[in-house]
Amino acid sequence: MKVVSALSLALSIAGVAWAMEIAGVKIEPVVTAHGQTLHLNGSGIRKKFFVKVYVGSLYTEHRLSTAAEALRDPGDKLIRMNFLHSKVEAEKIREAFREGLANNAPEQLGTAEFRQFLGLFRDDLKRGDQLDLLFTAGAVGVRLNGADLGSVASRRLGAGILAIYLGDRPADQGLKEGLLGRGL
């Protein structure tokens, strides 16, 4: 057992990145988004009423260990959602964003940018789908299974959407802890 631990430590010190698996979903240690290399910050499972909805992962330019640090950091970030549930209706997705924003950035609810963002979610999501939210300095982009759905140019909206996951009233506290590397 000590040999395995020493080997694991030596490999991690040597910079070898290991992919991990959560609920059958392979979590990549590094992703590239719009030419930017982002590193896994943490992962967790989004649950709603004891139902596993998706595995969420946060990718960042450098390690962020607190929610305040992550919300303040100007670097690019990506939240990846790998859906586990058989079907999540588009209206349920839009409603979850409305509720999360109401809890964490209510000033963004009535904006044209938020309406534009919600308009990107036209299709139901199903088990195996991968939804990416890319946060850059001035926009939030959405990608489904590798296809760009669009983006909204608004730094404030991007910060509000990120707060849904990392704010004071996150959609799922366990997922928040996981995204910050303190879960699972």
For 145-171, the pLDDT digits (tens) are: 999 999 999 999 999 999 999 999 999
Task: Encode pLDDT of 94-139 as tens digits.
Answer: 999 999 999 999 999 999 999 999 999 999 999 999 999 999 989 9
Amino acid at 172: D
Buried b (16+ CB within 10 A) or exposed e, 70-97: bbeeeebbbbbbbbbbeebeeeebbebb
- Are 123 and 144 in contact by the 8 Å Cβ rule? The answer is yes
Which one, of 70, 50, 31, lies nearest residue 177 by Cα?
70
Which one, of 172, 176, 174, 164, lies nearest residue 133 by Cα?
164
Q: Which CATH code is given to the segment(s) 19-179?
A: 3.50.70.10
Question: In the chain, where are the structural domains located?
Answer: 19-179
